[in-house]
A = this chain, B = another copy of it.
Amino acid sequence: MKTLNIGIIGYKFMGKAHSNAWKKVPLFFDVPAHPVLKVACGRNESQLKTFAHKWGWEQTETDWKKVINRSDIDIIDIALPQHMHHEIAMAAAAAGKHIFCEKPMAMSVKQAEEMLQVCTDNNVTHYLNHNYRRVPAIALAKQMISEGALGKIFHWRAAYQQDWIVDPAFPLSWQLQKETAQAGPQWDLNSHCVDLAHFLVGPISTVTCLTTNFIRERPLASEDSVGNLKATAKGTATGPVTVEDAALMMVQFDNGAIGSFEATRFATGRKNKLSFEISGSKGSIAFDLERMNELQYYNAEDPEHARGFRTILATESVHPYMDHWWPPGHIIGYEHSFIHAAADFLKAVTGQQAIAPDFNDGLKIMRVLEAGLLSAQNGQKIIVH
């Protein structure tokens, strides 16, 4: 079988999730080409070697430019924070590599435009890993909407709620600093939700946004020997939080629907709760990532006495991707969405089918998110261009 050599850059949370996907995809899907975990790249050589050994990456490299310049590498997997995406993607595309890129796409619309341009110019496959599109229940939602199950769409409401920085002792990690993250949940969380809104409802035309900070100064962060974050000892130095702690948005869609978004790291008790609801003239759906195997669906055309939101347990072989897994009722988890993405990406790279979201979609997301930041500053509704 044909093989495709992968070079991954980054070895932390996303490095692990991506490695798992590359290893597992051939076991559950009939892939058109076998992904080879060829080289893992990162700055801390000791941590990198541990990672590579565990996951079976054949080689390691601390200079990402060298990885990109290797002729035997087909795919560059960018599993790093967003402030690194632009530089690496530009170089990778210029070198003719296909790109599997973590979200959020970039630090700005400008960066995103350039990334898209260079990929187009070099005719490489580019995939932006908004993995939740490939949660079976969400893919099912898309299918049902496409079939007209909801009729004309009126409302989108999304909330992505986490609570990992409620504690003031949580350190000033890279996610809390503008130079590495550009924004807080507006970038990290709302990029997922805007992607889903585009996917399920359509283009967004205007944005009004409100952001705030609850904790403005935090202890400086450092890493322990295995790369985990730790707070500096009490009484020592602190630094300013330079991104927002929470972001709200109200939007208008091209098709006349309106929508709301909440993204926060201060929703005590919510761990990774991405929830959304879509109301349409013929029906509605609702989803909650903490119960990601389920899709709520209301059919307004059911008999009048027997209408209600039903819980579809999207684990049947008729549901998207689920014929590759276990019998009905045997649920899958978070990591499976990455495997689905890997399967579809391999088909895209080998020319079997297109893949979305790509950098086109990512650029559109960036436009909405950046308009949000501007609106949060000036208190006005912004038209998305």
Give a binary string over A310-337; 1 marks a CB under 8 Å from any B CB, 0 the rest: 1111011011000000111111111110
Q: Chain B contacts of A219 at CB under 8 A? A: none
- Tell me whether A20 is interfacial, beta carbon within 8 Å: yes
| Interface contact B326-A264, CB-CB below 8 Å | no
| Closest CB in chain B relative to A159 CB, distance in Å | 7
- Tell me whether A381 is interfacial, beta carbon within 8 Å: yes
Cα of A281 to Cα of B144 in the assembled complex, Å: 26
| Interface contact A332-B329, CB-CB below 8 Å | no
Chain A contacts with B in 265-292, Cβ cutoff 8 A: 266-273, 277, 279-284, 289-292
| Interface contact B326-A246, CB-CB below 8 Å | no
| Interface contact B272-A329, CB-CB below 8 Å | yes
Most B Cβ at <10 Å: residue of A210, A297, A302, A333: A333
Of the candidate stretches A81-89, A110-118, A255-263, the one touching chain B is A255-263
* Contact A256-B212, Cβ < 8 Å, known A308-B310, A311-B308: yes
- Tell me whether A385 is interfacial, beta carbon within 8 Å: no
Cα of A295 to Cα of B310 in the assembled complex, Å: 11
| Interface contact B313-A290, CB-CB below 8 Å | yes
Q: Which of B27, B162, B246, B268 contacts A280 (CB 8 A)?
A: B268
| Closest CB in chain B relative to A311 CB, distance in Å | 4
Cα of A211 to Cα of B191 in the assembled complex, Å: 24
- Tell me whether A298 is interfacial, beta carbon within 8 Å: yes
| Interface contact B331-A292, CB-CB below 8 Å | yes
Q: Chain B contacts of A311 at CB under 8 A? A: 308-310
Q: Chain B contacts of A270 at CB under 8 A? A: 279, 284, 329
Q: Which of B279, B305, B333, B379 contacts A268 (CB 8 A)?
A: B279
A residues whose Cβ falls under 8 Å from a Cβ of B: 13, 17, 19-20, 23-24, 26-27, 54-55, 140, 143-144, 149, 152, 154-155, 157, 159, 161-164, 166, 208, 210, 212, 214, 246, 248, 250, 252, 256, 258, 260, 262, 264, 266-273, 277, 279-284, 289-295, 297-300, 302, 304-313, 315-316, 318-319, 326-336, 379-381
Residue pairs across A and B with Cβ atoms less than 8 A apart, 21 shown, are A13-B326, A13-B327, A23-B23, A155-B267, A164-B328, A214-B256, A246-B258, A264-B279, A267-B277, A268-B281, A268-B283, A273-B329, A305-B312, A305-B316, A307-B310, A308-B312, A308-B313, A310-B311, A331-B331, A333-B333, A333-B336
